[in-house]
Amino acid sequence: MRKHLILPIVMWMVIMVNTPGIMARSDCTKTVPQLFKQISPSVVFISAVSFDPFKPKDRVTTSIGSGFIIGKDGLILTNSHLVFGHQTISVTLDDGTMVQAELVGIDPILDLALLRIPVSTKGLSVATLGDSEKVEIGEEVMAIGNPFGLEQTLTVGVVSGINRTLPTAPMSLRLPLIQTDAAINPGNSGGPLVNRCGEVIGINTAMLGPAENIGFAVPINVAKQIIPQLLEKGRVIRPWLGVSGKFVQKELGEIINLPFMNGFMVEMVEPESPAERAGLNEGDLPVTIGGTEFMFGGDIIIAVNGGSFTGPGDLAKLVDSLKVGDHVRLTLFHRGETREIELRLTERPILPSDFQY
């Protein structure tokens, strides 16, 4: 084991040891009012303030939301879009006590953030973390949070879907989410989605504006995986290629009479990315086919290190399986010609698109 990984693992083990009931409970017979009394003391109200000195007016912006305590040492889990870029973060506990919070770590890709507050002499109530892999459609769930600043609000519903991906969402929400019809409104963000055992199975993070009672939560197991990195590094370190686009098949080219190959069509190349430095071409011709928008004219990545693509998520999986600093060989198809390039993956920075909520 690498030495630099020992500290976060040990710290997370301490959290696990100091967190009563961190494992799944067998008692799932409590009523909804009983569960609310059990869980609500661990749910907090978050208010973050930012100041823009360059605006002539409305220079102060306040963001409000929710979070929940996951460690006796004052660790709180919430959404990144509530707290990133703010000068001060205030946390109000269930008993009305207001304290200032420290930002420990943040990951806009998964829309998660870790805060720490001072530990009071009375101690802190800690939420029980469940197993989101065991969530089933139709299972009863509860959302607890502070919608529109209305503190400690409970809504009840069911799990409406699992592994739900929002194709129109920014990169930060393109992960399998839990869908629920328990009402989630502005201010619920960062609060817990809880099962009938009183365990947190998700972090409420998004809703579909035009719809009614269609909300989404980041699975709690996703948060468990990144907490050690947030504790040690303050961020999640990911390899970065620097392209966005769509998986296409050569049959698409027959529709528009253009040469095509199966692969990942590059629609945009991120500035200062490894892809830009390697000279990848981005799209320059907007075309809509069957209601789907494409940006044609860029490179089509048909293989990575000799491995081809069979589906939409293949490129992301291949990149995620690599490490920062790895060298990657891309096979590219562009306007009837094939070429190969080699580039070195760098660490993915925080991008403006990560905050398009």
Structural domain boundaries enclosing 309 = 239-355
Higher per-residue confidence, 213 vs 220: 220
> Is the domain of 276 the same as that of 221?
no
Catalytic, out of 111, 181, 299, 354: 111
- Amino acid at residue number 172: S
The mean per-residue pLDDT over the stretch 218-243 comes to 94
> Is the domain of 218 the same as that of 255?
no
Cross-strand pairs, 185: none
Boundary-marking domain end, from 232, 253, 287: 232
- Asked if 42 is an active-site residue, the reply is no
What is residue 354's predicted lDDT score, i.e. its pLDDT? 65
* Contact (CB, 8 A) for 69 and 127: yes
> Is the domain of 245 the same as that of 116?
no
Boundary-marking domain end, from 198, 232, 266: 232
- Asked if 4 is an active-site residue, the reply is no
Task: Output the DSSP codes for 204-256.
Answer: EEEE-TTSSS-EEEEEHHHHHHHHHHHHHTSS---EE--EEEEEE-HHHHHHH
> Is the domain of 191 the same as that of 255?
no
Percent of the chain with pLDDT over 70: 85
Task: Output the DSSP codes for 43-103.
Answer: EEEEEEEEE-TT-SS--EEEEEEEEEE--TT-EEEE-HHHHTT-SEEEEE-TTS-EEE-EE
Catalytic, out of 66, 189, 299, 354: 189
> Is the domain of 173 the same as that of 252?
no
- Asked if 81 is an active-site residue, the reply is yes
What is residue 315's predicted lDDT score, i.e. its pLDDT? 85
Q: What are phi and psi of 226, to 5 degrees?
A: -100, -10
What is residue 264's predicted lDDT score, i.e. its pLDDT? 92
Q: Three-state DSSP class for 320?
A: helix
Low-confidence winner among 5-19, 116-130, 258-272, 308-322 (lowest mean pLDDT): 5-19
Q: Binning pLDDT at 50, 70 and 90, where does residue 2 land?
A: very low
The mean per-residue pLDDT over the stretch 240-266 comes to 82
> Is the domain of 173 the same as that of 79?
yes
Instruction: Assign residue 257 the CATH number of its domain.
Output: 2.30.42.10
Number of compact structural domains in the chain: 2
Catalytic, out of 42, 63, 80, 81: 81
170, pLDDT greater than 50: no
> Is the domain of 45 the same as that of 159?
yes
287, pLDDT greater than 90: no
pTM: 0.81
> Is the domain of 227 the same as that of 294?
no
When the pLDDT of each residue in the chain is averaged and rounded to a whole number, the result is 85
What is residue 45's predicted lDDT score, i.e. its pLDDT? 96
Instruction: Assign residue 91 the CATH number of its domain.
Output: 2.40.10.120
Tens-place pLDDT, residues 98-154: 999 999 999 988 899 999 999 876 789 999 999 999 999 999 999 999 988 888 999
Q: Which helix (H) or strand (E) holds 193?
A: strand 192-195
What is residue 298's predicted lDDT score, i.e. its pLDDT? 93
